[in-house]
Amino acid sequence: MDEAKRNSTPGMPALRLGDYLPYRLAIASNQVSSMVARAYQSRFGITIWEWRVIAILGEGHPVTAQGLCDVTAMDKVSVSRAVRSLADRGVIERSSNRADRRSHLLALTPAGRAIYAEIAPVALEAEAALLAGLTPDEVALLSTLLDRLRDRARDLRGG
């Protein structure tokens, strides 16, 4: 008898957390985020969530808080805390949103752009180091598969 069946409750499906794809993706994501975070947390005192906001705004387009939630898949509370903290420190600024007066457009300040300019190359170096163990074909396949999993999860979630 295999170990999964021996350790399962009769009538209940066996679940080995270490083999469960959502868990494995979460662990991989946490490990990768922590690896990259070491490059900026101590130097700039920003969190992973704050870096994600800076990275999106660093692309140069003002975005609403809801837009940040949509793009990053972060929850509203995490985005709100990150935005408030970054605004308090003068890293991002809010401006009125003519398309929707209930929200504000967020953009990096000059100080925020300076932080982005320092962190982005470090983040890209960390990504390159991580991917160095894969062939170019494996990197392309990984990218494709991650996109497909994200899209499938969104479809199953209903949007």
- The tokens describing 25, both together, are 């993706």
Domain 40-131 sits in CATH at 1.10.10.10
Q: Find residue 94's DSSP bridge partners.
A: 106
Q: Where are the domains of the chain?
A: 40-131
pLDDT recorded at residue 40: 83
Conformational region of residue 60, where left means phi above 0, alpha means psi within -120 to 50, and beta covers everything else:
left
* pLDDT tens-place string over residues 38-64: 878 888 889 999 999 999 999 999 999
pLDDT recorded at residue 103: 82
Q: Give this prediction's pTM.
A: 0.81
Q: Give me the amino acid identity at 27.
A: I
Give the Cα-Cα-Cα angle 135, 126, 130 (nearest 5 degrees): 30
Helices (H), the chain: 3-6, 21-37, 41-44, 48-57, 65-72, 76-88, 110-131, 136-157
Quote the CA–CA distance of 100 and 61 in Å, as a whole number.
16
* pLDDT tens-place string over residues 82-113: 999 999 999 999 998 887 778 899 999 999 99
Average pLDDT, the chain: 90
